Structure 1
Amino acid sequence: MNGQIDVVEALLNVRGHMLIQPNTHDTVLHAAISSQQPEIVLLILRAFTHLIQSKNVDGSTPLHWASQCGNLNVVKLLMEYAYEEDLITLIEDASTRFSYRFVADVNALDSKCRTALYLAVANSHFDVVKYLLE
């Protein structure tokens, strides 16, 4: 994608494009995150919001990829985007003293049992680590 927003916008208007790579199960959202361009990630999120919950064959979610790449703006976009209610999971403790809602599970494990936080730490992305811990 190389940051070419106009090209991405044009491709989104073409029917029949592939959302998921058949061998790796990487999605167009994974690819957008690799571009490190928040504008491209936003275009893809608007068109295919449901892909936020996808995993590739390695169990990596879009949040795993964003944390590993280390672009704080992309991580924030994935975490703070205004998702539709049907994509949001509600978690409550047994005492119902607290609850939280999420779309991108920060505690999700990939096939090597790594979380998004682990990947941010392992790749020395301090600003992403700090954000995920807040």
Structure 2
Amino acid sequence: MSRPRKRSTNSAAHRYPREARLNEILREVIADELTRIDDERLEFVTVTSVDVDAELNRGIVFFDSLAGEAGDKTILGVLEEHRRRIQSSIGRQLRAKKTPVLEFRPDEVIRAAERIDEVLRADRERRDRMARDDD
């Protein structure tokens, strides 16, 4: 006779991997659906990450685009136009009891990294110019 499985007392250890997997699956499904949507305004939009709560009530979709900060308002509007379609696609593909309500936000981590890269590049160019001037 088999023994009953023990339940782990550390629920956080089980919850994190599940949520991380779910976030990655959602990112892939959403990115795939964006390629299927025939809207040229979404052509250069990249889904960078998804953060869904444990109860699958809400999901925050982080994105970046070649339009940068100047294009955020337009892209947010377009993503909102297609939000229901994207959520339906999630429901069909995941076959989950619930589909999270999506909220779209620009990925500020990517933007901050780009700004840091610009500062470092400018500093490197300045040092290179100074080194050439010294020669």
TM-score, normalising length from structure 2?
A: 0.24
TM-score, normalising length from structure 1?
A: 0.24
Tell me which protein shows more helix as a share of its residues.
2
> Which protein has the larger Cα radius of gyration, Structure 1 or Structure 2?
2
